Structure 1
Amino acid sequence: MTATYVLDGTRISTLEDFWRVIGEAVNGPGGYFGRNLDSFADCLSGGFGTPDDGDYVVEWRDHQLSRTHLGHPETVRQLEIVLSRCHPTNRVAVSAELSEARAGRGPTVFDWLVDIAGHRAPGALRLR
């Protein structure tokens, strides 16, 4: 039987909200299912609350609202955090991404999450 984890998009306004909501959906109150993009990708691969056989679906309800909240302004905020912490050799690349996001171009936080899910757990993410 396929396990279904429901994300309430009305509760997701920031990337930090996403980590909380997906953690709770998969592993209950206070649950963990990633706190950064790399750990999210790892969790999607299994062993962090989802069935070992990979038979699960993450249903993201009201995803359009989340898409709006996780758009370019949130992307700018996240990239500013990354820029403040990244290795000096990565500053040029992150600065370029930040400039694009400030101009309303390029992938958004929402796009990052959907892309990771598509690569790590093809077909598991359903946008509703």
Structure 2
Amino acid sequence: MPQGPDLPVLVVDGSRFDDLAGFAREVSRLLDGYTWRGNLDALNDVLRGGYGTPPGGFVLRWLHSERSRDALGHAETAHRLERLLPAVDPSGRAAFVARLDAARRGEGPTLFDEIVALVREHGPGGGEAADGVVLELV
């Protein structure tokens, strides 16, 4: 599998979005023939390949990542969780609501943290490292 400079580079520009919907549009413009709509399970599939990403791995270079850290911070995390709440299975509702309450208080992992962890899972040292996704936060 190619490594480092031999991999194609996909560039996400954090100055081009202010929320998850904008991030989804930014990612989708990088994909060949696939539109990602912001579902993290679907992003996991995209990172595995076959949904418009280059075969054999790639570098995901995230420009203005600190700006994205703010845009996809606790407020956007709470907003996303609020949208998901009606579909949460009753057996997991209490934990989900606790996570939502934490996000509203500005505590716990953010959407940015979740996305970064998800991407890193598909790269060096991750459980799905064979996918060959290298994340560069710039």
TM-score of the superposed pair, with normalisation by structure 2:
0.83
SS of aligned partner of 1:27:
coil
Q: Which residue of 2 aligns with 1:95?
A: 97
Within the candidate set 16, 19, 34, 2:21 is matched to 16
Contact 1:73 1:102 in 2 (8 A): yes
Deviations 1:27-78 (A, max 9, x none): 37xx424630001011101111222222x11111011111111111111101
SS of aligned partner of 1:124:
strand
Contact 1:58 1:126 in 2 (8 A): yes
Deviations 1:71-97 (A, max 9, x none): 111111011111122122221111010
Alignment of 1:1-128 (within 5 A): 1-27=6-32, 31-33=34-36, 35-54=38-57, 56-122=58-124, 124-128=134-138
Q: State the aligned residue count.
A: 125
SS of aligned partner of 1:47:
coil
CA distance in 2, matches of 1:17, 1:47: 22
SS of aligned partner of 1:50:
coil
CA distance in 2, matches of 1:45, 1:64: 25
Identical counterparts, % of pairs:
38
Runs of 4+ in 1 over 3 A off after TM superposition: none
Unaligned stretches of 5+ in structure 2? 1-5, 125-132
Which amino acid in structure 2 is aligned with residue 12 of structure 1? F
Contact 1:59 1:126 in 2 (8 A): yes
TM-score of the superposed pair, with normalisation by structure 1:
0.89
Contact 1:14 1:70 in 2 (8 A): yes
